[in-house]
Chain A
Amino acid sequence: MKLKQMVVIVVGLCLALPAAVCAKPVTINWWHAMRSARGKVVDTMIKKFNESQSEYVVVGTNKGNYDEVMNAGVAAFRAKKQPHILQVFEVGTQTMMQSGAIYPVHELMAKAGFDIDWSNYLQAVLSYYMDADGNLMSMPFNSSTPIMYYNVSMFEKAGIKPLSKTEPITWDKLGEITKKLVDSGIAPAGMVTAWQSWTQIENYSAIHNVAFASKANGYEGLDCKLMINNPTVVHHIERLKEWTKDKRFMYGGQKYQGPKAEFIAQNAAVYMDSVSGIAKLKKAVHDFKWDAAPLPVEASMKKPQNSIIGGASLWVLKGHSDKEYKGVAAFLKFLSSNEMQSYWHKETGYFPITMNAYNDLKSKGYFKENPLQAVGIDQLNRAVPTKISRGLRLGYFVQIRNIINEELELVWNGKKSPQEALDSAVKRGNVQLRTFEKTYK
């Protein structure tokens, strides 16, 4: 009896009072790929947002690694059970943009009434996720860029001065350095590189302002073609191949595990990898000193361009109510606040995405205390991105990267010449691009 009365009262109250009091907060689902330490950071950010207001509740779910999150998103969308926010890796950008399943972030923010000064964002980061007209399609979340790590102890032993953290050395200089290190027997091998397609071709092209693909790297049309068999890139690969002969360059695998192991074991003196390597090396290296510098550039390149980013961004998916989208917009805005951005950067090493947050960290002396963290940011910010250095917008980019990896491996093991391999990569990559174009035309 008592229970029944209670229910009646509660229901009555709910009908009588304004909806806001009894209505449950709107739930916003966010599927992401952040696990372990990074996952905890994400959880803290979500918690802070949920505590900061009462209208919305964000629920973050880890759906595995990038591929798995993307597939979970695809499957959920087909079943009409999609989350509001989906974290997608940078190579999936074109697929997302063409999908017709997304709600562009610039529209979302405008409609929610947030007037956001996009010029305050790190342009090299933002431009990767813009359409050809400069509209932001997805919110950058975790962004990194490759830099060059080197073994200071070995450099000292060989009498080589430490490298500048802002001014890149030339590739010729790196050739001299590695030669000295290897010839004197101080280092078993010169350099190793992680993610060879990303560091040695994608970023190399951007830094030297050489087009990776036609149509402004694919930004201006699906009918773009790969252009990586140009003389500049071919020459670069030829040089690396030449270096393999006297061990100035050693191939350690497609991903980062092998090359990183070689650097940590002091089998190689120089190691190119994402800025996320800083945390990994800090943890793993105990028996030698190391430092970081920007990626080398060609001597002819007096004013090198910005490097490009890797990582992932947050896509808002279609099919939800305006009320929910308001919450999504509020959450995205919250994520780009100074407080959240500095927290995110300090905990994970990924870049803060606004100039505000960057300047805030700078004014607090953070980069003086952590000079390693400034190397990547300075490299990204050293020039205004051109149409070529702002990023890559390719369909079936995953397959294209696989193709480039395969062809490069055939160069390293001597089955193909650099020109042959890159010609073949272009030919095979173009087949992928045409299939992609056919799908969406």
Chain B
Amino acid sequence: MIKKSTFKSGYLPYLLILPQILITLTFFYWPAVQGLRQSFFLSDPFGQSSKFVWFYNYIELFTDPLYLKSIMITVTFSIAVATVSITLGLFIATMANRALRATALVRTLLIWPYAVAPAISGILWLFLLHPSYGIVALAIDKWLGVEWNPVLYGRDAMIMITMASSWKQISYNFVFFMAGLQAIPKSLIEAAAIDGASSFKRFWAITFPLLTPTFFFLSVMNIIYSFFETFGVIHTVTQGGPGGSTNILVYKVYQDGFVGLNLGSSAAQSVVLMSLIILITFLQFRYVEKKVQYTG
């Protein structure tokens, strides 16, 4: 029997959700509408002249082969970051879940990297992997003889920013997987063990399905993370280079809008970026969520 409670007065519920609506309107809808409007204009940054140009900014974008390349780079990058950080996050969580001693300490230490800001994470990795002064890069060159140069080669730069971006996200994923694992009843796993299921089988048949809600949530969060928050990493590590090979969409928005002061194009790019993330999230909910089992 579900207990239903209703408001007696008609306006009270509206009053109660008013603050939330105001915040959403001011900080989300208003800027979004402004951005949408701006994307149809060519205007000088000081706001002295503004010209309505229909879809000029969008046409310029989509006839620029580099913009299309930038979309591809962003998608590749976010898939790479999500895959690496979810896989490693899950792996570490399963390991930590079995830890017998000093569990609290182990877990705390594993969560730490999440507290590092993306820009700092970028700098840390730069000190390791920069071809001129990175310790690891110099060691690779000296002992392994492998040519590693993210300043010159796009592939190396991509690997570097993927590592820097995934590293701190692993901790985030770890926390959620850890919580997910703790919520799985021990009795289920023990029962399977008695029935003779191997540890791999137990993981695949019991743990994994029960973790799907966590998986789904994290895949959405990680994609959004790699689309937007990795800005700090890109800014400190590659600035979109070499040759534009790590120029993800959000960085281009910043370059063209904030540094280059081309507000129209930058606004159009923001709109495209927003649409893209809406589309991806929609697809995830439409197709992936069907496979999620919310109850055990």
Contacts and interface: CB of A to CB of B under 8 A. Distances in A.
Given A95-B261, A101-B48, A258-B151, A399 B243 contact: no
B255 A402 contact: yes
A413 B154 contact: yes
A428 interface: yes
Given A396-B260, A399-B260, A406-B243, A435 B42 contact: yes
Contacts of A410: 243
A258 B154 contact: no
Interface residues of A, number: 42
A261 interface: yes
A273 interface: no
Contacts of B130: 258
A399 B256 CA distance: 7
Contacts of A429: none
B45 A100 contact: no
B153 interface: yes
B64 interface: yes
Contacts of B51: 438-439
Contacts of A98: 44
**Which of B51, B151, B239 counts the most A-chain CB atoms under 10 A from its CB?**
B151
Given A252-B132, A406-B243, A406-B244, A99 B154 contact: no
Interface string A223-258: 000000000000000000000000000011110011
Given A67-B259, A98-B44, A265 B132 contact: yes
B152 A74 contact: no
Contacts of B48: 99-101
Contacts of B53: 438
B184 interface: no
Contacts of A253: 132, 151
Nearest to A254: B241
B258 interface: yes
Contact of B45 (A95, A252, A254, A438): A95
Interface string B100-137: 00000000000000000000000000000011110000
Nearest to B242: A409
B261 A70 contact: yes
Interface string B264-281: 110000000000000000
B43 interface: yes
B145 interface: no
B151 A440 contact: no
A95 B154 CA distance: 32
A406 B154 CA distance: 11
A203 B44 CA distance: 28
Contact of A435 (B243, B258, B265): B265
A439 B56 CA distance: 11
Nearest to A192: B132
Contacts of B66: 428
- Please indicate which of the listed interface residues B151, B256, B258, B260 has the most CB atoms of chain A within 10 Å of its own CB: B260
A101 B261 CA distance: 15
B44 A99 contact: yes
Contacts of B152: 251, 409, 412-413
Contact of B46 (A78, A399, A405, A432): A78
B265 A440 contact: no
A261 B46 contact: no
Contacts of B239: 254
Interface string A48-92: 000000000000000000010011001001100000000000001
A78 B243 contact: no
B243 A431 contact: no
B190 interface: no
Contacts of A435: 42, 60, 262, 264-265
Contacts of B256: 399
Contacts of A431: 60, 64
Contact of A100 (B44, B151, B258): B44
Contacts of B42: 435, 438-439
Contacts of A413: 152-154, 242-243
Interface string B33-53: 000000000111111110101
A262 interface: yes
Interface in B117-175: 130-133, 151-154
Interface of A: 67, 70-71, 74, 77-78, 92, 95, 98-101, 251-254, 257-258, 261-262, 265, 267, 396, 398-399, 402, 405-407, 409-410, 412-413, 415, 428, 431-432, 435-436, 438-440
9 contacts: A70-B261, A95-B261, A251-B152, A254-B241, A399-B255, A402-B240, A438-B42, A439-B49, A440-B44
Given A100-B46, A406-B243, 9 more contacts: A67-B258, A101-B48, A253-B151, A261-B133, A399-B256, A412-B242, A413-B242, A439-B42, A439-B43
